[in-house]
């Protein structure tokens, strides 16, 4: 419901804020939505592709040279191709850009920069976006990097050079899962390499084996350490994102503690069903 100017103090008391609400004038210049061919973070995207390709090539060289277990090469190659495809799809996807209201002039002179909407029995504040000149729907946020409002904004990912929102959030979770599987495949493949390089019977918990590899094959050891750290990171990050999905939260909402009680949490089953209804756009 729209708020009149006399209701602003009542709104402050209800939601615990102390903002002063004033009518928005019509003289403010709009910020044009800028379209980037590969997103606003092209250099970061290139770095992502180069690092991923370098890690993949080094792993396969080590695997083919030192190990007889070639199955890791096949599995990692399939996962790597899926990963590159997901990067491309996420980068090209519209995350859920909210277009300016074409009828904004009908009520602009009387509009206040905040109003309430009801979500699952909870009052949720809808703020006015001065750049896009729209009332942002619940979970919509303006990204100052992409210069647009994004529906169900999760975060802006510079490494994929795009926002993560309503239209590509499911793709992003698939990407994080795929990246985790890639890193784990690399780890198990490198363990097979270390097993073949170690002169005695190898045990994964044998510190002596790792010290031998550190001394005789320093690059292999360091590559294993970096890959293991990457696998651990993406495992934790994958679990974190699955937690957000199961509780129906976005990264932005979780980090900024926007709600005392999460108004979007409809229970485990409903949260999963809502996630499954999000666009996939895999192909």
Work out the widest C-alpha separation in the chain, in whole angstroms: 81
Please give the C-alpha separations between residue 109 and each of 23, 116, 133, 148, 282, in angstroms, as whole numbers: 7, 18, 12, 23, 43
Of the chain, the end-to-end C-alpha distance in Å amounts to 40
**Residues classed as catalytic:** 157
- b/e code 235-247 from CB counts within 10 Å (16+ = b): beebeebeebbee
**228 neighbors 187 (Cβ within 8 angstroms):** yes
**45 neighbors 91 (Cβ within 8 angstroms):** yes
Please give the C-alpha separations between residue 270 and each of 40, 198, 248, 257, 278, in angstroms, as whole numbers: 35, 51, 9, 22, 13
Measured CA to CA, the distance from residue 187 to residue 240 in angstroms comes to: 21
Task: Please compute Rg for the chain using Cα positions.
Answer: 24
Pairing state between β 148-150 and 155-157: unpaired
Within 8 A by CB and 6+ apart from 253, the residues are 139, 259, 262
Q: What is the DSSP string of 102-157?
A: TTGGGTGGG--SEEEEEETTEEEEEEEETTTTEEPPTT-EEETTTTEEETT--EEE
């Amino acid at each position: 419901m729209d708020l009149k100017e006399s209701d602003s103090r009542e709104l402050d008391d209800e939601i615990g804020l102390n903002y002063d609400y004033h009518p928005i004038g019509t003289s403010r210049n709009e910020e044009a939505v800028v379209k980037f061919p590969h997103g606003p973070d092209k250099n970061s995207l290139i770095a992502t592709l180069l690092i991923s390709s370098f890690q993949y090539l080094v792993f396969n060289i080590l695997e083919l040279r030192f190990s007889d277990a070639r199955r890791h090469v096949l599995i990692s190659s399939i996962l790597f191709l899926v990963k590159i495809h997901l990067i491309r799809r996420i980068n090209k996807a519209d995350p859920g850009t909210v277009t300016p209201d074409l009828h904004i002039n009908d009520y602009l002179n009387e509009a206040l920069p905040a109003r309430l909407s009801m979500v699952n029995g909870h009052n949720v504040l809808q703020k006015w976006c001065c750049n896009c000149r729209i009332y942002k729907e619940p979970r919509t946020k303006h990204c100052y990097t992409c210069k647009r409002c994004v529906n169900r904004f999760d975060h802006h990912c510079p490494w994929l050079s795009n926002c993560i929102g309503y239209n590509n959030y499911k793709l992003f979770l698939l990407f994080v899962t795929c990246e985790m599987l890639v890193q784990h495949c690399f780890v198990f493949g490198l363990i097979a390499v270390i097993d073949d390089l170690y002169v005695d019977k190898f045990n994964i918990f044998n510190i002596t084996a790792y010290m031998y590899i550190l001394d005789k094959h320093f690059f292999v050891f360091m590559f294993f350490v970096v890959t293991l750290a990457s696998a651990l990171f993406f495992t934790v990050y994958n679990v974190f994102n699955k937690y957000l999905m199961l509780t129906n939260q976005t990264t932005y909402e979780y980090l900024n503690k926007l709600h005392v009680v999460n108004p979007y949490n409809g229970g485990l089953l409903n949260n999963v069903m809502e996630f499954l209804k999000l666009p996939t756009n895999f192909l």
